[in-house]
Structure 1
Amino acid sequence: MPFAKIRDLDIHYEQAGEGPDMLVISGTGGDLRRHPNATDSPLTKRFRVTSYDQRGLGQTTKPEDGYTMANYAEDAAALMDHLGLAPCPVLGISFGGMVAQNLAARYPQKISRLALYCTSPGGAGGASYPLHELPEVDQETAFRRMMKLSDSRVTDDWFDTDAADVLRKRADKSEFAGEEGFLRGARGQIQARAGHDCWEALAGLPMPVHLAGGLHDQIALPETMRRMAERIAEAELKLYDGGHLFFIGDPQPYRDLIEFLER
Protein backbone atom coordinates (compact mmCIF):
# COMPACT_ATOMS: atom_id res chain seq x y z
CA MET A 1 0.00 0.00 0.00
CA PRO A 2 2.31 2.80 -1.21
CA PHE A 3 2.02 6.41 -0.06
CA ALA A 4 3.75 9.55 -1.30
CA LYS A 5 4.43 12.44 1.09
CA ILE A 6 3.20 15.50 -0.80
CA ARG A 7 3.42 18.69 1.31
CA ASP A 8 0.77 18.20 4.04
CA LEU A 9 -0.68 15.05 2.45
CA ASP A 10 0.08 11.36 2.45
CA ILE A 11 -1.25 10.41 -0.98
CA HIS A 12 -2.19 6.79 -1.49
CA TYR A 13 -1.42 5.58 -5.00
CA GLU A 14 -1.33 2.30 -6.89
CA GLN A 15 0.46 1.17 -10.03
CA ALA A 16 -0.35 -1.69 -12.37
CA GLY A 17 0.85 -2.91 -15.76
CA GLU A 18 4.10 -2.64 -17.68
CA GLY A 19 5.23 -0.21 -20.33
CA PRO A 20 5.44 3.58 -20.59
CA ASP A 21 4.07 5.53 -17.63
CA MET A 22 0.57 6.94 -17.63
CA LEU A 23 -1.33 8.85 -14.94
CA VAL A 24 -5.08 8.40 -14.45
CA ILE A 25 -7.01 10.90 -12.32
CA SER A 26 -10.31 9.55 -11.05
CA GLY A 27 -13.70 11.18 -10.66
CA THR A 28 -15.97 12.34 -7.87
CA GLY A 29 -15.68 10.14 -4.80
CA GLY A 30 -12.90 8.06 -6.35
CA ASP A 31 -11.50 5.47 -3.92
CA LEU A 32 -8.99 2.82 -5.02
CA ARG A 33 -10.52 0.37 -2.56
CA ARG A 34 -13.51 0.18 -4.90
CA HIS A 35 -13.27 -1.83 -8.12
CA PRO A 36 -13.19 -1.73 -11.05
CA ASN A 37 -10.80 1.22 -11.20
CA ALA A 38 -8.01 2.40 -13.49
CA THR A 39 -5.61 -0.32 -12.30
CA ASP A 40 -8.08 -2.95 -13.56
CA SER A 41 -8.53 -1.37 -16.99
CA PRO A 42 -7.22 -2.54 -20.39
CA LEU A 43 -4.74 0.34 -20.22
CA THR A 44 -2.50 -1.80 -18.00
CA LYS A 45 -1.82 -4.10 -20.95
CA ARG A 46 0.11 -1.30 -22.69
CA PHE A 47 1.12 1.12 -19.92
CA ARG A 48 2.28 1.23 -16.34
CA VAL A 49 -0.81 2.95 -14.96
CA THR A 50 -0.56 5.11 -11.85
CA SER A 51 -3.77 6.14 -10.11
CA TYR A 52 -4.30 7.70 -6.70
CA ASP A 53 -6.82 8.76 -4.09
CA GLN A 54 -7.20 12.52 -4.31
CA ARG A 55 -7.08 14.75 -1.24
CA GLY A 56 -9.95 14.01 1.12
CA LEU A 57 -10.76 10.66 -0.50
CA GLY A 58 -9.96 7.01 0.04
CA GLN A 59 -6.78 6.42 2.03
CA THR A 60 -5.23 9.81 1.29
CA THR A 61 -5.09 12.47 4.01
CA LYS A 62 -8.36 14.33 4.58
CA PRO A 63 -7.24 17.83 5.57
CA GLU A 64 -9.41 20.41 7.30
CA ASP A 65 -9.26 22.75 4.30
CA GLY A 66 -7.49 23.34 0.99
CA TYR A 67 -10.17 21.87 -1.27
CA THR A 68 -9.61 23.97 -4.39
CA MET A 69 -9.12 23.06 -8.04
CA ALA A 70 -5.66 24.66 -7.89
CA ASN A 71 -4.65 22.40 -5.00
CA TYR A 72 -5.98 19.27 -6.71
CA ALA A 73 -3.83 20.16 -9.74
CA GLU A 74 -0.79 20.88 -7.57
CA ASP A 75 -1.25 17.51 -5.83
CA ALA A 76 -1.20 15.75 -9.21
CA ALA A 77 1.89 17.67 -10.36
CA ALA A 78 3.77 16.94 -7.14
CA LEU A 79 2.88 13.24 -7.31
CA MET A 80 4.19 13.08 -10.89
CA ASP A 81 7.45 14.64 -9.73
CA HIS A 82 7.70 12.33 -6.72
CA LEU A 83 7.25 9.22 -8.87
CA GLY A 84 9.26 10.49 -11.84
CA LEU A 85 6.35 10.17 -14.25
CA ALA A 86 6.60 13.40 -16.22
CA PRO A 87 6.34 13.84 -19.08
CA CYS A 88 3.69 11.19 -19.67
CA PRO A 89 0.11 10.79 -20.93
CA VAL A 90 -2.64 11.80 -18.49
CA LEU A 91 -6.24 10.60 -18.47
CA GLY A 92 -8.75 12.55 -16.37
CA ILE A 93 -12.20 11.08 -15.79
CA SER A 94 -15.17 13.32 -14.88
CA PHE A 95 -13.95 15.41 -11.92
CA GLY A 96 -10.52 14.02 -12.69
CA GLY A 97 -10.88 15.59 -16.13
CA MET A 98 -11.34 18.96 -14.44
CA VAL A 99 -8.19 18.37 -12.39
CA ALA A 100 -6.35 17.30 -15.55
CA GLN A 101 -7.37 20.51 -17.32
CA ASN A 102 -6.01 22.58 -14.44
CA LEU A 103 -2.85 20.47 -14.40
CA ALA A 104 -2.37 20.93 -18.15
CA ALA A 105 -2.90 24.68 -17.91
CA ARG A 106 -0.31 25.04 -15.13
CA TYR A 107 2.22 22.38 -16.14
CA PRO A 108 1.87 21.62 -19.87
CA GLN A 109 5.44 20.30 -19.96
CA LYS A 110 4.43 17.40 -17.70
CA ILE A 111 1.85 16.02 -20.13
CA SER A 112 2.76 14.42 -23.45
CA ARG A 113 -0.83 13.61 -24.43
CA LEU A 114 -4.04 14.47 -22.61
CA ALA A 115 -7.27 12.47 -22.53
CA LEU A 116 -10.44 13.88 -20.98
CA TYR A 117 -13.42 11.61 -20.33
CA CYS A 118 -16.96 12.82 -19.54
CA THR A 119 -15.95 16.22 -18.22
CA SER A 120 -16.58 19.94 -18.75
CA PRO A 121 -14.49 23.11 -18.99
CA GLY A 122 -16.64 25.35 -16.79
CA GLY A 123 -17.01 29.07 -17.38
CA ALA A 124 -18.35 30.18 -20.74
CA GLY A 125 -17.86 26.68 -22.13
CA GLY A 126 -20.43 25.17 -19.80
CA ALA A 127 -20.27 23.31 -16.50
CA SER A 128 -21.09 19.76 -15.54
CA TYR A 129 -24.28 19.13 -13.57
CA PRO A 130 -24.21 21.18 -10.31
CA LEU A 131 -23.86 18.30 -7.85
CA HIS A 132 -23.19 20.81 -5.04
CA GLU A 133 -26.82 21.91 -5.29
CA LEU A 134 -28.25 18.45 -4.64
CA PRO A 135 -29.58 17.76 -1.12
CA GLU A 136 -27.98 14.98 0.89
CA VAL A 137 -30.13 11.84 0.89
CA ASP A 138 -29.83 8.19 1.89
CA GLN A 139 -27.46 5.95 -0.04
CA GLU A 140 -29.99 4.15 -2.24
CA THR A 141 -31.80 7.37 -3.16
CA ALA A 142 -28.48 8.99 -4.01
CA PHE A 143 -27.49 6.01 -6.17
CA ARG A 144 -30.77 6.11 -8.09
CA ARG A 145 -30.51 9.85 -8.59
CA MET A 146 -26.93 9.66 -9.86
CA MET A 147 -27.64 6.77 -12.22
CA LYS A 148 -30.53 8.65 -13.83
CA LEU A 149 -28.33 11.73 -14.20
CA SER A 150 -25.56 9.56 -15.59
CA ASP A 151 -27.70 8.05 -18.33
CA SER A 152 -30.98 9.46 -19.65
CA ARG A 153 -32.08 5.95 -20.69
CA VAL A 154 -32.18 4.57 -17.13
CA THR A 155 -35.67 3.56 -15.98
CA ASP A 156 -36.93 2.38 -12.59
CA ASP A 157 -36.89 -1.24 -13.82
CA TRP A 158 -33.15 -1.01 -14.48
CA PHE A 159 -32.38 -0.83 -10.76
CA ASP A 160 -33.43 -4.49 -10.39
CA THR A 161 -30.86 -5.73 -12.93
CA ASP A 162 -27.47 -7.35 -12.38
CA ALA A 163 -25.82 -4.36 -14.08
CA ALA A 164 -27.33 -2.06 -11.47
CA ASP A 165 -26.12 -4.30 -8.65
CA VAL A 166 -22.55 -4.13 -9.96
CA LEU A 167 -22.59 -0.33 -10.01
CA ARG A 168 -24.47 -0.16 -6.70
CA LYS A 169 -21.71 -2.17 -5.03
CA ARG A 170 -19.03 0.01 -6.62
CA ALA A 171 -20.75 3.16 -5.36
CA ASP A 172 -21.28 1.83 -1.83
CA LYS A 173 -18.75 3.42 0.53
CA SER A 174 -20.77 2.89 3.71
CA GLU A 175 -18.01 0.79 5.27
CA PHE A 176 -15.72 3.82 5.09
CA ALA A 177 -18.24 6.42 6.25
CA GLY A 178 -17.00 6.28 9.84
CA GLU A 179 -13.44 7.26 8.90
CA GLU A 180 -12.17 10.56 10.28
CA GLY A 181 -12.80 13.31 7.73
CA PHE A 182 -14.83 11.15 5.34
CA LEU A 183 -17.69 13.65 4.92
CA ARG A 184 -15.33 16.62 5.00
CA GLY A 185 -13.32 15.25 2.10
CA ALA A 186 -16.35 14.29 0.02
CA ARG A 187 -17.99 17.66 0.53
CA GLY A 188 -14.74 19.49 -0.13
CA GLN A 189 -14.37 17.85 -3.51
CA ILE A 190 -17.94 18.69 -4.52
CA GLN A 191 -17.48 22.33 -3.53
CA ALA A 192 -14.18 22.58 -5.42
CA ARG A 193 -15.89 21.17 -8.48
CA ALA A 194 -18.38 24.05 -8.42
CA GLY A 195 -15.56 26.55 -8.94
CA HIS A 196 -13.93 24.81 -11.91
CA ASP A 197 -13.27 27.07 -14.91
CA CYS A 198 -10.60 26.27 -17.49
CA TRP A 199 -12.41 27.60 -20.53
CA GLU A 200 -9.90 30.34 -21.31
CA ALA A 201 -6.92 28.06 -20.66
CA LEU A 202 -8.12 25.37 -23.07
CA ALA A 203 -7.33 27.53 -26.09
CA GLY A 204 -3.66 27.53 -25.15
CA LEU A 205 -3.09 23.82 -24.54
CA PRO A 206 -0.09 22.72 -26.65
CA MET A 207 -0.47 18.93 -26.42
CA PRO A 208 -2.75 16.62 -28.43
CA VAL A 209 -6.06 16.09 -26.61
CA HIS A 210 -8.50 13.17 -26.85
CA LEU A 211 -12.04 13.92 -25.68
CA ALA A 212 -14.59 11.18 -25.09
CA GLY A 213 -18.11 11.11 -23.68
CA GLY A 214 -21.48 9.42 -23.71
CA LEU A 215 -24.36 10.54 -25.92
CA HIS A 216 -26.82 9.95 -23.07
CA ASP A 217 -24.81 11.65 -20.33
CA GLN A 218 -26.70 14.32 -18.39
CA ILE A 219 -23.76 15.23 -16.13
CA ALA A 220 -21.13 16.11 -18.73
CA LEU A 221 -23.27 17.04 -21.70
CA PRO A 222 -22.24 16.00 -25.23
CA GLU A 223 -22.79 19.58 -26.42
CA THR A 224 -20.31 20.82 -23.83
CA MET A 225 -17.71 18.33 -24.95
CA ARG A 226 -18.23 19.45 -28.54
CA ARG A 227 -17.50 23.02 -27.46
CA MET A 228 -14.32 21.82 -25.75
CA ALA A 229 -13.18 20.07 -28.93
CA GLU A 230 -13.71 23.26 -30.91
CA ARG A 231 -11.83 25.30 -28.30
CA ILE A 232 -8.66 23.19 -28.16
CA ALA A 233 -6.18 23.61 -31.00
CA GLU A 234 -5.19 19.95 -31.37
CA ALA A 235 -8.23 17.97 -30.23
CA GLU A 236 -10.32 15.03 -31.32
CA LEU A 237 -13.74 14.05 -29.93
CA LYS A 238 -15.45 10.67 -29.81
CA LEU A 239 -18.97 10.21 -28.45
CA TYR A 240 -20.26 6.74 -27.64
CA ASP A 241 -23.69 5.17 -27.23
CA GLY A 242 -23.53 5.35 -23.44
CA GLY A 243 -23.94 7.57 -20.43
CA HIS A 244 -21.47 9.12 -17.99
CA LEU A 245 -19.84 5.71 -17.49
CA PHE A 246 -19.72 4.97 -21.23
CA PHE A 247 -16.31 3.27 -20.91
CA ILE A 248 -17.48 0.60 -18.45
CA GLY A 249 -18.48 -2.56 -20.28
CA ASP A 250 -17.65 -1.20 -23.73
CA PRO A 251 -14.12 -2.04 -24.94
CA GLN A 252 -14.16 0.42 -27.85
CA PRO A 253 -13.41 3.61 -25.87
CA TYR A 254 -10.24 2.04 -24.47
CA ARG A 255 -9.22 0.81 -27.92
CA ASP A 256 -9.64 4.32 -29.29
CA LEU A 257 -7.76 5.83 -26.34
CA ILE A 258 -4.82 3.45 -26.71
CA GLU A 259 -4.65 4.18 -30.44
CA PHE A 260 -4.49 7.93 -29.64
CA LEU A 261 -1.84 7.47 -26.95
CA GLU A 262 0.41 5.34 -29.17
CA ARG A 263 0.48 7.61 -32.20
Structure 2
Amino acid sequence: MKTIYLLCGLLCDDVVWEAQAEALRKEHKADVRIVSFQQDDSIAGMASRVLQDAPEQFFLAGHSMGGRVALDVYRQAAHRVQRLALLDTGYEAATPGEDARRAVLVDRARADGINAIAETWAMPMLAPGNRDNAPLISRILEMVGRMSPEIYAGQIRALLGRPDATPVLSAIACPTLILCGAEDAWSPPERHARMAALVKGSVLTEIPACGHMSTMEESDAVTQALLRWAA
Protein backbone atom coordinates (compact mmCIF):
# COMPACT_ATOMS: atom_id res chain seq x y z
CA MET A 1 0.00 0.00 0.00
CA LYS A 2 1.23 3.49 -0.86
CA THR A 3 1.68 5.88 2.04
CA ILE A 4 1.00 9.48 1.04
CA TYR A 5 1.74 12.42 3.33
CA LEU A 6 -0.16 15.67 2.72
CA LEU A 7 1.42 18.58 4.59
CA CYS A 8 -0.65 21.63 5.56
CA GLY A 9 0.31 25.26 5.24
CA LEU A 10 0.11 28.29 7.52
CA LEU A 11 -3.07 28.32 9.66
CA CYS A 12 -4.38 25.26 7.81
CA ASP A 13 -5.60 21.87 9.00
CA ASP A 14 -7.05 18.68 7.46
CA VAL A 15 -9.81 20.61 5.69
CA VAL A 16 -7.35 22.04 3.18
CA TRP A 17 -6.63 18.53 1.82
CA GLU A 18 -10.07 16.98 2.39
CA ALA A 19 -11.05 16.40 -1.26
CA GLN A 20 -7.63 15.15 -2.33
CA ALA A 21 -7.27 12.77 0.62
CA GLU A 22 -10.65 11.20 -0.06
CA ALA A 23 -9.86 10.68 -3.75
CA LEU A 24 -6.39 9.25 -3.11
CA ARG A 25 -7.80 6.78 -0.59
CA LYS A 26 -10.56 5.73 -2.98
CA GLU A 27 -8.66 5.58 -6.27
CA HIS A 28 -5.25 4.38 -5.08
CA LYS A 29 -6.25 2.55 -1.88
CA ALA A 30 -3.53 4.64 -0.25
CA ASP A 31 -2.71 5.21 3.39
CA VAL A 32 -3.15 9.00 3.36
CA ARG A 33 -1.84 10.96 6.34
CA ILE A 34 -2.52 14.68 6.68
CA VAL A 35 -0.13 16.62 8.91
CA SER A 36 -0.73 20.13 10.25
CA PHE A 37 1.97 21.87 12.24
CA GLN A 38 0.57 23.34 15.43
CA GLN A 39 3.42 22.49 17.83
CA ASP A 40 6.68 23.31 16.06
CA ASP A 41 8.30 26.65 15.32
CA SER A 42 10.97 25.64 12.79
CA ILE A 43 10.83 24.12 9.32
CA ALA A 44 13.42 21.53 10.27
CA GLY A 45 11.41 20.57 13.36
CA MET A 46 8.25 20.20 11.29
CA ALA A 47 10.12 17.97 8.84
CA SER A 48 11.48 15.84 11.67
CA ARG A 49 7.93 15.40 12.99
CA VAL A 50 6.88 13.94 9.62
CA LEU A 51 9.86 11.60 9.48
CA GLN A 52 9.58 10.24 13.00
CA ASP A 53 6.38 8.31 12.25
CA ALA A 54 6.82 7.73 8.51
CA PRO A 55 7.49 4.33 6.92
CA GLU A 56 10.78 3.69 5.18
CA GLN A 57 9.38 5.01 1.89
CA PHE A 58 6.44 7.30 1.11
CA PHE A 59 4.95 9.86 -1.25
CA LEU A 60 5.02 13.46 -0.08
CA ALA A 61 2.94 16.52 -1.01
CA GLY A 62 3.04 19.93 0.64
CA HIS A 63 0.91 23.03 0.21
CA SER A 64 2.26 26.53 0.93
CA MET A 65 4.31 26.32 4.15
CA GLY A 66 3.83 22.56 3.88
CA GLY A 67 5.75 22.66 0.60
CA ARG A 68 8.71 24.20 2.37
CA VAL A 69 8.46 21.46 5.01
CA ALA A 70 8.33 18.85 2.24
CA LEU A 71 11.57 20.22 0.80
CA ASP A 72 13.20 19.90 4.23
CA VAL A 73 11.92 16.34 4.59
CA TYR A 74 13.66 15.64 1.28
CA ARG A 75 16.81 17.37 2.53
CA GLN A 76 16.84 15.22 5.65
CA ALA A 77 15.88 11.89 4.06
CA ALA A 78 15.90 12.02 0.26
CA HIS A 79 16.17 8.23 -0.06
CA ARG A 80 12.82 7.78 1.67
CA VAL A 81 10.76 10.07 -0.60
CA GLN A 82 9.42 8.15 -3.61
CA ARG A 83 7.47 11.03 -5.17
CA LEU A 84 7.20 14.71 -4.33
CA ALA A 85 4.50 17.33 -5.00
CA LEU A 86 4.95 21.03 -4.22
CA LEU A 87 1.80 23.17 -4.32
CA ASP A 88 1.58 26.99 -4.13
CA THR A 89 4.85 27.26 -2.25
CA GLY A 90 8.34 28.73 -2.47
CA TYR A 91 11.97 27.99 -1.88
CA GLU A 92 13.75 31.25 -1.08
CA ALA A 93 14.85 32.39 2.38
CA ALA A 94 13.00 35.23 4.12
CA THR A 95 13.17 38.60 2.37
CA PRO A 96 14.27 41.93 3.92
CA GLY A 97 11.44 43.48 5.89
CA GLU A 98 9.33 40.33 5.90
CA ASP A 99 9.67 39.95 9.67
CA ALA A 100 8.19 43.40 10.29
CA ARG A 101 5.29 42.82 7.91
CA ARG A 102 4.39 39.51 9.46
CA ALA A 103 4.82 40.86 13.01
CA VAL A 104 1.93 43.28 12.47
CA LEU A 105 -0.52 40.41 11.99
CA VAL A 106 0.96 38.33 14.81
CA ASP A 107 0.63 41.27 17.21
CA ARG A 108 -2.95 41.84 16.12
CA ALA A 109 -3.80 38.16 16.63
CA ARG A 110 -2.35 38.28 20.14
CA ALA A 111 -4.18 41.49 21.00
CA ASP A 112 -7.57 40.76 19.43
CA GLY A 113 -7.67 36.99 18.83
CA ILE A 114 -7.04 34.87 15.76
CA ASN A 115 -10.41 35.74 14.22
CA ALA A 116 -9.34 39.38 14.05
CA ILE A 117 -6.83 38.61 11.32
CA ALA A 118 -8.61 35.70 9.63
CA GLU A 119 -10.33 37.68 6.87
CA THR A 120 -7.37 40.04 6.39
CA TRP A 121 -5.16 37.00 5.91
CA ALA A 122 -7.52 34.80 3.91
CA MET A 123 -9.09 37.05 1.29
CA PRO A 124 -5.89 37.98 -0.61
CA MET A 125 -5.13 34.25 -0.80
CA LEU A 126 -8.05 33.69 -3.17
CA ALA A 127 -8.31 34.42 -6.88
CA PRO A 128 -10.42 37.57 -7.42
CA GLY A 129 -13.20 35.49 -8.95
CA ASN A 130 -13.46 33.38 -5.78
CA ARG A 131 -13.67 36.23 -3.27
CA ASP A 132 -17.47 36.23 -3.34
CA ASN A 133 -17.74 32.45 -2.89
CA ALA A 134 -19.43 32.47 0.52
CA PRO A 135 -19.21 28.71 1.27
CA LEU A 136 -15.49 28.63 0.40
CA ILE A 137 -14.73 31.71 2.47
CA SER A 138 -16.71 30.32 5.39
CA ARG A 139 -14.73 27.06 5.36
CA ILE A 140 -11.42 28.94 5.30
CA LEU A 141 -12.41 31.32 8.09
CA GLU A 142 -13.66 28.44 10.24
CA MET A 143 -10.35 26.63 9.67
CA VAL A 144 -8.32 29.68 10.71
CA GLY A 145 -10.61 30.11 13.72
CA ARG A 146 -9.55 26.67 14.98
CA MET A 147 -6.00 27.98 15.38
CA SER A 148 -4.65 30.28 18.10
CA PRO A 149 -2.32 33.28 18.27
CA GLU A 150 0.34 30.98 19.74
CA ILE A 151 0.11 28.53 16.84
CA TYR A 152 0.24 31.42 14.39
CA ALA A 153 3.29 32.96 16.07
CA GLY A 154 5.13 29.63 16.05
CA GLN A 155 4.43 29.02 12.38
CA ILE A 156 5.56 32.54 11.53
CA ARG A 157 8.83 31.96 13.42
CA ALA A 158 9.29 28.83 11.31
CA LEU A 159 8.70 30.71 8.08
CA LEU A 160 11.00 33.58 9.01
CA GLY A 161 13.76 31.10 9.80
CA ARG A 162 13.26 29.06 6.65
CA PRO A 163 16.38 28.04 4.74
CA ASP A 164 17.07 28.74 1.09
CA ALA A 165 16.01 25.45 -0.51
CA THR A 166 17.63 26.06 -3.92
CA PRO A 167 20.23 23.31 -3.32
CA VAL A 168 17.46 20.87 -2.37
CA LEU A 169 15.50 21.56 -5.55
CA SER A 170 18.60 21.03 -7.66
CA ALA A 171 19.22 17.66 -5.97
CA ILE A 172 15.70 16.19 -6.32
CA ALA A 173 15.81 12.90 -8.20
CA CYS A 174 12.30 11.49 -7.67
CA PRO A 175 9.21 12.18 -9.85
CA THR A 176 8.03 15.65 -8.88
CA LEU A 177 4.86 17.66 -9.48
CA ILE A 178 5.01 21.45 -9.11
CA LEU A 179 1.54 23.01 -9.10
CA CYS A 180 0.09 26.45 -8.50
CA GLY A 181 -2.96 28.57 -9.09
CA ALA A 182 -2.62 30.83 -12.12
CA GLU A 183 -3.77 33.76 -9.96
CA ASP A 184 -1.74 32.96 -6.85
CA ALA A 185 -0.57 36.40 -5.74
CA TRP A 186 1.33 35.04 -2.72
CA SER A 187 3.43 32.53 -4.60
CA PRO A 188 3.00 33.32 -8.31
CA PRO A 189 3.41 31.05 -11.33
CA GLU A 190 6.74 32.64 -12.19
CA ARG A 191 8.23 31.31 -8.96
CA HIS A 192 6.93 27.82 -9.71
CA ALA A 193 8.42 27.97 -13.19
CA ARG A 194 11.80 28.73 -11.61
CA MET A 195 11.33 25.81 -9.25
CA ALA A 196 10.43 23.48 -12.11
CA ALA A 197 13.54 24.59 -13.99
CA LEU A 198 15.64 23.51 -11.01
CA VAL A 199 14.04 20.07 -10.64
CA LYS A 200 15.09 17.80 -13.48
CA GLY A 201 12.14 16.09 -15.14
CA SER A 202 9.48 17.77 -13.01
CA VAL A 203 5.92 18.32 -14.19
CA LEU A 204 4.66 21.92 -13.92
CA THR A 205 0.89 22.39 -13.67
CA GLU A 206 -0.94 25.72 -13.53
CA ILE A 207 -4.58 25.76 -12.44
CA PRO A 208 -6.66 28.45 -14.22
CA ALA A 209 -8.83 30.94 -12.30
CA CYS A 210 -7.26 29.82 -9.03
CA GLY A 211 -5.39 31.53 -6.21
CA HIS A 212 -3.14 30.36 -3.40
CA MET A 213 -5.69 28.04 -1.74
CA SER A 214 -5.74 25.79 -4.79
CA THR A 215 -6.74 22.58 -3.03
CA MET A 216 -9.96 24.25 -1.89
CA GLU A 217 -10.57 26.80 -4.66
CA GLU A 218 -10.30 24.36 -7.55
CA SER A 219 -10.36 21.07 -5.69
CA ASP A 220 -11.39 18.91 -8.67
CA ALA A 221 -8.53 20.09 -10.90
CA VAL A 222 -5.96 19.73 -8.12
CA THR A 223 -7.32 16.30 -7.20
CA GLN A 224 -6.97 15.08 -10.79
CA ALA A 225 -3.39 16.35 -10.92
CA LEU A 226 -2.54 14.52 -7.70
CA LEU A 227 -4.22 11.31 -8.84
CA ARG A 228 -2.03 11.35 -11.97
CA TRP A 229 1.03 12.10 -9.84
CA ALA A 230 0.29 9.23 -7.43
CA ALA A 231 -0.28 6.79 -10.30
Query: Normalising TM by the smaller chain, what interval?
Result: 0.7 to 0.9
My pick for the range that moved more, 234-243 or 252-261, is: 252-261
Report the TM-score, using the length of structure 1 for normalisation: 0.73
Alignment match, 1:72: 46
**Equivalent residue letter for 1:214:** G
Aligned residue pairs total 218
Task: State the shift of 1:140 in Å.
Answer: 5.0
Q: What's 2:214 paired with?
A: 246
CA contact 1:148–1:154 (8 Å) conserved in 2: no
Is the CA contact (8 Å cut-off) linking 2:91 and 2:166 kept in structure 1?
Answer: yes
Residue aligning to 1:8:
none
Partner of 1:101: 71
After the TM superposition, which residues 179-190 of structure 1 pair with which residues of structure 2 at under 5 Å, given as runs? Answer: 183-190=149-156
Does the 8 Å CA contact 1:150/1:219 hold for their aligned counterparts? yes
Is the aligned partner of 1:30 residue 2:12? Answer: yes
CA distance in 2, matches of 1:200, 1:167: 33
Give the TM-score normalised by the residue count of structure 2.
0.82
Structure 1 distance, partners of 2:205, 2:84, is 14
Alignment of 1:1-263 (within 5 A): 19-32=1-14, 35=15, 37-38=17-18, 40-45=21-26, 46=28, 47-54=30-37, 57=38, 62=39, 67-80=41-54, 85-123=55-93, 132-135=102-105, 136-137=108-109, 138=112, 139=114, 141-153=116-128, 158=132, 161-173=134-146, 177=148, 183-196=149-162, 197-241=164-208, 242-248=210-216, 249-262=218-231
CA-CA distance at 1:235 after TM superposition: 1.0
SS at match of 1:23: strand
Q: Report the structure number with the largest CA radius of gyration.
A: 1
Runs ≥4 residues deviating over 6 A: none
Amino acid at match of 1:44: R
Question: Match of 2:62, SS?
Answer: strand
Equivalent position amino acid for 1:42 in 2: A
Q: Sequence identity, in percent?
A: 18
1:123–1:199: 8 Å Cα contact kept in structure 2? no
Residue 250 of structure 1: CA displacement? 3.1
Q: State the partner residue of 1:11.
A: none
Q: 1:200 to 1:119 in 2, by over 3 A?
A: same
> Does the CA-based 8 Å contact 1:147-1:154 persist in structure 2?
no
RCO (CA 8 Å, sep 6+): is it higher in 1 or 2?
2
Counterpart amino acid of 2:214? F
Q: Which has the higher helix share?
A: 2
Shift of 1:256: 1.7
Deviation at 1:101, TM superposition (A): 0.4
Q: Distance in 2 between matches of 1:141 and 1:228?
A: 34
8 Å contact kept, 1:150–1:216: no
Instruction: Tell me the alpha carbon deviations over residues 149-199 of structure 1, each in whole angstroms, 9 at most, x when there is no partner.
Output: 21241687x27x3332233223322xx64xxxxx33321111111222211
Cα pair 2:115 2:144 within 8 Å, conserved: no
| Gap runs ≥5 in structure 1 | 1-18, 178-182
